[in-house]
Amino acid sequence: MIEVKVPATSANMGPGFDCLGVAVDMYNRFLVEEIEEGLIFEGCDDKFKNEDNLIYISMKKCFEKIGYKPTGLRIKIESDVPVSRGLGSSAACIVGGVVGANELAGRVLNKKEILELISELEGHPDNVLPAFLGGVVVSAYENKQLIYSKVNVKEGIKFCALIPEFTLSTEKARGVLPKTIDYKDGVFNLGRVALMVSALNNGEFHLIKDACKDKLHQDYRAGLIENFYSIQKECERLNCLGVFLSGAGPTIMVMIREEDNDFSKEIQKFLDTLQSKWLAKELKMDTVGTVVKTIDSVTK
């Protein structure tokens, strides 16, 4: 039995639409093993216990690439990452499936090949790369060529995920985005993305509030998320470093100082006054990424 532990991710990070993501310490665990025959799932709803399961699809693609044919598979899922909340649950399934399959096949694919395959399966690399590599990752995907860089983030920050009970599909969140943007909006976001990366790298955390501003996706999606602006305003009143929509939403991610021990409980008080149920969950950045555990050792 092989265990693959994959962290949750928060993509876009304000202005970093489809190019900037961070791994956080909330995890999905996938336990996979080859069996004599059949396909057995454990730990998920019955509607996911079939060949359309994203973990299985990812494993199958990896096996096809390698040229390996398992006799049968048992897949057990231990999930802490909520589905359709903008925290990279799909990316975790893709990474877990590919890495698990590669382990079963004898570690045929190298790191570069795994990164390329998971990016191809996801369609864009902003979630899968931090899920695999950990930390904050800047990424691009052009002509099937993967380009990325891991950001050296100074110590001193942590995160608070504001997770609602309602879900939001990526398709619906994509559907409200415009087909084209104004030139000035593109320039606006370029400056803010550069500022975000520089502020994280230099430890200039007082710049994060301005770095979180966005013209490409957040305002378009805010209407799909109940109380988005009032929550954002309250977070700023509580002296957070910055607020951004996590992935496609509806989770709202907040960056706070490491020594701030009051924010999470104070924002939860505010969230409890809202009609929908929200959970404030404090998180740290995961710097390790995906970890594979076997009986004898732990390897990356």
Q: Is 106 marked within a binding site?
A: no
3-state secondary structure of 255: strand
Q: Which residues lie closer than 8 Å to 138 by C-beta, 6 or more apart? A: 16, 19, 20, 148, 149, 150, 151, 197
**Does the annotation flag 82 for ligand binding?**
yes
Q: Enter the tokens of residue 287.
A: 């710097």
Sequence-distant (≥ 6) Cβ neighbours of residue 104 within 8 angstroms: 2, 32, 33, 34, 68, 70
Does residue 10 have a known ligand-binding role?
no
Token pair belonging to 264:
């999470």
For residue 95, CA distances in Å to 6, 90, 100 come to 7, 9, 8
Instruction: Find out whether 149 is annotated in a ligand binding site.
Output: no
d(CA 295, CA 265): 39
Please give the backbone phi and psi of residue 259, each rounded to the nearest 5 degrees, phi first.
-85, -5
The reply to whether 161 sits in an annotated binding site is no
174 assigned to a ligand binding site: no
95 marked among binding-site residues? no
The annotation status of 140 as a binding-site residue, yes or no, is: no
Judge whether 38 is annotated as a binding position: no
Query: Is 85 assigned a ligand-binding role in the annotation?
Result: yes
Q: Any binding-site annotation on 137?
A: no
Q: Which residues contact 184 (CB under 8 A, 6 or more apart)?
A: none
Cite the annotated binding site by residue number.
Answer: 82-92
Cite the annotated binding site for ATP by residue number.
Answer: 82-92
